[in-house]
């Protein structure tokens, strides 16, 4: 059963989000960027809601995207870029997370990665 959001629910959620912003700000004050995969799995078929299994473990159909939530929720500067391809030619992504308002650093690193490993001419199979 769904319940309507009240002002109290919204306020409580915002307090939790702000605590996560502060928790992320502490380590980010000591590092320039955090580099993670963009996804827990390679690309999956179009129309699929996501894998039901990752590394032999049953997961929810949204478990594959967990690397994106911290940057999205805490307002970090971030960019997702191609990082390579699987043996089947499917794309694998890299996420660069910078400090809050650190867009220039994130974009410089993304550009440097592209210079070293250009991807504009590569297309997945099919």
How far is residue 40's CA from residue 35's CA, in Å, rounded to a whole number?
A: 13
- DSSP per-residue codes, 98-116: EEET-HHHHHHHHHHHHHH
Q: Which phi and psi angles does 105 have, rounded to 5°? A: -65, -45
pLDDT digits (tens, 9 = 90+) for 18-45: 999 999 999 999 999 999 999 888 887 7
Q: CB neighbours of 62 closer than 8 A, spacing ≥ 6?
A: 49, 50
Q: Residue 46 — very low, low, confident or very high, per pLDDT cuts 50/70/90?
A: confident
Do residues 27 and 21 touch, judged by C-beta distance below 8 A? Answer: no
Q: Which two tokens stand for residue 3?
A: 């319940």
- Helices and strands (H and E) in the chain: how many: 3, 5
pLDDT digits (tens, 9 = 90+) for 83-99: 888 888 888 889 999 99
pTM across the whole model: 0.80
């Amino acid at each position: 059963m769904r319940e309507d959001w009240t002002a109290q629910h919204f306020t409580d959620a915002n307090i939790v989000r702000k605590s996560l912003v502060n928790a992320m700000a502490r380590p980010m004050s000591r590092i320039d960027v955090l580099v993670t995969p963009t996804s827990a799995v390679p690309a999956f078929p179009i129309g699929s809601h996501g894998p039901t299994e990752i590394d032999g473990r049953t997961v929810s159909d949204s478990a594959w995207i967990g690397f994106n939530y911290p940057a999205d929720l805490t307002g970090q500067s971030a960019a997702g870029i191609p990082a390579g391809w699987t043996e089947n030619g499917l794309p694998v992504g890299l996420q660069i997370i910078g400090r809050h308002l650190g867009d220039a650093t994130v974009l410089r690193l993304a550009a440097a990665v592209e210079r070293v490993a250009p991807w504009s001419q590569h297309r997945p199979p099919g």
